Amino acid sequence: MGSSVRAYAIRAEGIAAERERVSGDMNKFDIARVIELSDLELRAVGPRDVHMRILAVSAEHNVDHAALADTANIAEARGGKIYPGNSALGEVLAVGAEVTRFRPGDIVITHCNGEPDSFGFPSRIWAYDQPESIGWYGEEAVVGEWQLIPAPLECGLNLWEIAALPLRAPTAYHLWRRALGIFRIKVPRERRARLNVLGFGGGVSELFLMLAQAEGHRAFFCSGSPARREALEKLGIQGIDQKAFNRFATQDDVRAFRTEIRKITDGEDMHLVCDMLRGPVFSAGIAACAREGVNVSAGWQLSRVVDYNSATLSVKQITLDHTHYETITGCNAATELYGSVFRPAIHKEIYSFEDLPRCMREMHENTQTGIPIVRIATDLPKAVSGIVP
């Protein structure tokens, strides 16, 4: 038999109650009221399982969606209750008899590939739409050996920076290799070696631009957060203030943004764009695209519906690419770039385990200065003592 631990859960009943409290006004919806501390009975450790203690987790937008039930009521679809959290850093406590890659005391990170298809890409995500999957916003977890990657403790990042990357780094890595690969089908390197690359928003786009910068391209970050723009500008990535264009509320704002893009790129526009492929930045991202440009999605926040003028995109040879998540092999490859390429900016407050719901609320409100981290364990193992800031 397994043991009982504390873990956060989202219930369909809680979502319904909060919707009723705000009379359906989602602007008043408080996700901190929906993410609740619960008890979780861990399953017994099987022969290929790893029992781990969670040290720290990163707040992720898919948890925000699960709490809001805005794009899908995933808690209802999963039987009324889910245990979220698919990005974590932990310490191995015990391993099954057939586990060969890990031993007690190892520090590991997770990936969220829940159900790989025949090519290795996930058709479902762990702790979200994968049936029976239990997430890692808890004190301990039992996971399959295949779900873990050795944490790169010698990469030069501190513990919180490493904890920020298990989900975001593979996503950015996937987006980058697809965007660049698609563009190179149309325009080979000998025709255009150095590209203009634009990213909107938060952590995934920031890492996407770090990859572009590392490979010698011109990178631009469009964000309304001065702190996040400043962090990337220190890496040589040019900032664009999204608020200067009223967050693209009108077509006049989009046109003003397009004028600015043409100015800062010497009339070339952006060859690669990383945005959400929906919501207010979508039209701005399309307007910024150069001929033969590629626009890749960094998520599915705000809506599942995309509306665009296909004739215009056809004439300009613009490609839209919808992505989900990386393969397990790709997750391991992305981990190799921690510290050398991926250097994330962390929100100034490291949240406690009890403050996880507030962390998620503040991420939803977009008030954080970097990637939010929640420290789960009060006592940390000696193996990470040298990288705790």
Read off the pLDDT of residues 16-66 as tens digits, 9 standing for 90 and up: 999 999 998 988 999 999 999 999 999 999 999 999 999 999 998 888 888
Chain mean pLDDT for the chain: 92
For residue 148, the cross-strand partners are: 110
> Can you give the pLDDT at residue 72?
78
Does residue 302 contact residue 181 with C-beta atoms inside 8 Å?
A: no
- CA angle 189–191–192, rounded 5-degree value: 65
Mean predicted confidence (pLDDT) in 327-343: 96
Residues in Cβ contact with 318 at an 8 Å cutoff, skipping those fewer than 6 apart:
286, 289, 291, 292, 293, 294, 295
Measured CA to CA, the distance from residue 176 to residue 100 in angstroms comes to 32
pLDDT, one tens digit per residue, over 336-386 is: 999 999 999 999 999 999 999 999 999 988 899 999 999 999 999 999 999
pLDDT for 308-318, tens place per residue?
788 888 889 99
- Whose CA is closest to 290, among 258, 330, 250? 258
Q: Is the pLDDT of residue 79 over 50?
A: yes
170-321 and 4-164+344-387 share a CATH fold: yes
Take residue 146 and report the two structure tokens written for it.
């295949």
Dihedral pair phi/psi, residue 287, rounded to 5°: -60, -30
Nearest of 1, 18, 22 to residue 10 by alpha carbon: 18
Length of the chain in terms of residues written: 389
Q: What are the C-alpha distances in Å from 161 to residues 165, 173, 175, 379?
A: 7, 17, 21, 18
Among candidates 10, 8, 6, 42, which has minimal Cα distance to 139?
Answer: 6
Give the residue, 286 or 155, on which the prediction is more confident. 155
Is the pLDDT at 303 greater than 90, yes or no? no
Write down the pLDDT at residue 279.
Answer: 60
Using N-to-C axis directions, what is the helix angle for 203-214 and 168-186, rounded to 10°?
50
Task: Give the global pTM.
Answer: 0.93
pLDDT of 247: 87
**What CATH architecture applies to the domain 4-164+344-387?**
Alpha-Beta Complex (3.90)
Handedness of CA 97, 103, 104, 110 (dihedral sign): negative
Q: What is the pLDDT of residue 302?
A: 54
| Whether domain 170-321 has CATH 3.40.50.300 | no
156-165, 225-234, 292-301, range with greatest mean pLDDT: 156-165
Q: Are 378 and 169 in contact (CB under 8 A)?
A: no
Would you state the pLDDT for residue 277?
A: 46
**Whether pLDDT at 86 is above 60:** yes
Q: Is 91 helix (H, G, I), strand (E, B) or coil?
A: strand
Buried b (16+ CB within 10 A) or exposed e, 7-37: bbbbbbebbeebbeeeeeeeeebebbbbbee
Which pLDDT value is given to residue 299?
Answer: 60
Percentage of residues of the chain with pLDDT beyond 70 = 96
Q: What is the pLDDT of residues 244-294, one digit of tens each?
A: 998 888 999 999 999 999 999 999 999 999 986 456 678 888 899 999 999
What residue spans define the domains of the chain? 4-164+344-387, 170-321
CA distances (Å), 372 to each of 58, 111, 184, 325, 361, in order?
6, 18, 35, 20, 11
DSSP, residue by residue, 325-365: ---HHHHHHHHTTBTTTB-PPEEEEEEEGGGHHHHHHHHHT
pLDDT band at 103 (very low <50, low <70, confident <90, very high): very high
% of the chain with per-residue pLDDT over 90: 73
Is there a contact between 187 and 89 (Cβ–Cβ < 8 Å)?
Answer: no
Angle of CA points 319, 321, 327, to nearest 5°: 145
The reported pLDDT for the residue numbered 52 is 97
